Amino acid sequence: MDYAAEFEQIAAETLRRSVMLREELDDIDRQTVIRAQQVAANAARRFDEVVELLAQEAAEAEIAEPQPDSHEVQEERIQSIARAVAPPPPPVFPAEPDPTLTPEQQRQAEIRAAVARARAAREARSVVAPSDGDYDSESEYYRRSTWLD
């Protein structure tokens, strides 16, 4: 058995497969760029439509009832639309338990907070993870083997 020939054959096959994968990745990159440009164009078009709609509403309101602070009203309307379009901010959970609680009440409060965080994560379709480092007492809380104790 000729090991050198077999090794060269395996190397050639590996090279061929890596070239195919690189071509696929390049194609995916090109498609991603095209999609990103389409999304940006659609977002710009939708933004222009919203601005045009707001300008029309402001003009109609100005014609119907002239107001001295119409620019401020228009800015407020833009801000209200921006707030309506933007996702709601994530809920804020207390970082430290209340020291006046008994240990059992603190444990129950931790469980309620964990359930609330998990629910918020499911609603946001994100992953719950500690945000303040890997090696502290709070990160042990997230690394429990079971949430039932």
Biggest alpha carbon distance in the chain? Answer: 95
Task: Give CA 86 to chain center in angstroms.
Answer: 12
Model confidence pLDDT, tens digit, residues 71-83: 777 788 777 776 6
Q: Give the end-to-end CA distance of the chain in Å, rounded to a whole number.
A: 61
Model confidence pLDDT, tens digit, residues 115-145: 888 887 777 765 455 555 555 666 667 667 7
The answer to pTM > 0.85 is: no
